[in-house]
Structure 1
Amino acid sequence: MAWRIAGATALLLGIIGIALPLLPTTPFLLLAAFCFSRGSQTWHDWLVAHPRLGVPIREWREHGAISRKAKMLAGLAMLGAIAGAAVFGAPRNVLLAQAGVMVFVALFVFTRPVPPEGGFGDDAD
């Protein structure tokens, strides 16, 4: 039961993240799939097979890939988070720590491959 609740919570946060630019979608969908795989195979299979929500999960599982669109949104969200903290007067040491962490996150995100042509995502031309 706890895995299903955790999966549903992660799924809800992922869906909210579709509309809110500073809340990431894909990590929450990956977490939801992980939780559902332990708590409800039916929900797991539904999520992974979903025509919109399942795409980034399948791309990550099969290719370790992140779409160009997701990379751009992640980069913008990171810049927005730092800019927002600066605008609201975060201390310099907090901004530096935040920027330092974001550098490593950005390195990870931007060094992942893009899904292959004809893949699941929005990068197939």
Structure 2
Amino acid sequence: MRILYFSLGWVMVALGVIGLVMPLMPGMVFLIIAAACFARSSPRLEAWLLDHPKFGKSLRDWRAAGAIPRPAKAMACAGMTAGYFIFWHSAEPSLPLAAGVAVAFLACAAYVVSRPATVDEDSSV
């Protein structure tokens, strides 16, 4: 199992790096999963992610309280909105499919917005 978690951790790091440079692909989600995989397979690599100068604080805040910084919330909601409009205009979905996707995106946005903005903050947004 340890080898599986280790391998999956590296796949998630690769996807996270790709997501950090590609618009509309969430990078931090993959880094959060990578940290969880490394927690089960490589404490050294888990520490590397958690202590990373750019992403470590966000990973530690997520782990401690499920916190998402306000700028990340705004970017996530903007990305979901852009993704929905791209879907709407490129796929020309039926009304039930468009409504279903809209409900799923709204549920995801509501979850993101409901998370605390920092570890020491009780309220969100």
List 4+ stretches of structure 1 deviating above 6 A.
Answer: none
Partner of 1:22: 24
**Structure 1 residues not aligned, in runs of 5+:** 120-125
Could you say which structure has the greater relative contact order, defined with CA pairs below 8 angstroms and 6 or more residues apart?
A: 1
Q: Report if the CA contact (8 A) 2:20-2:28 is conserved.
A: no
DSSP 3-state at the match of 1:24? coil
Give how far 1:81 is off.
1.0
Partner of 1:13: 15
Counterpart residue identity of residue 27, structure 2: T
> Identity, % of aligned pairs?
32
**Structure 2 residues not aligned, in runs of 5+:** none
Give how far 1:73 is off.
0.9
Instruction: Report the Cα distance in structure 1 between the residues aligned to 2:102 and 2:37, rounded to whole angstroms.
Output: 30
Counterpart residue identity of residue 63, structure 1: A
Matches within 5 A, 1:23-62: 23-62=25-64
Corresponding residue to 1:111 among 97, 110, 114: 114
Give how far 1:40 is off.
1.1
**Number of residue pairs aligned between Structure 1 and Structure 2:** 118
Cα RMSD (Å) = 1.7
Give how far 1:34 is off.
0.6
DSSP 3-state at the match of 2:58? helix
Q: TM-score, normalised by structure 1?
A: 0.86
Q: TM-score, normalised by structure 2?
A: 0.86
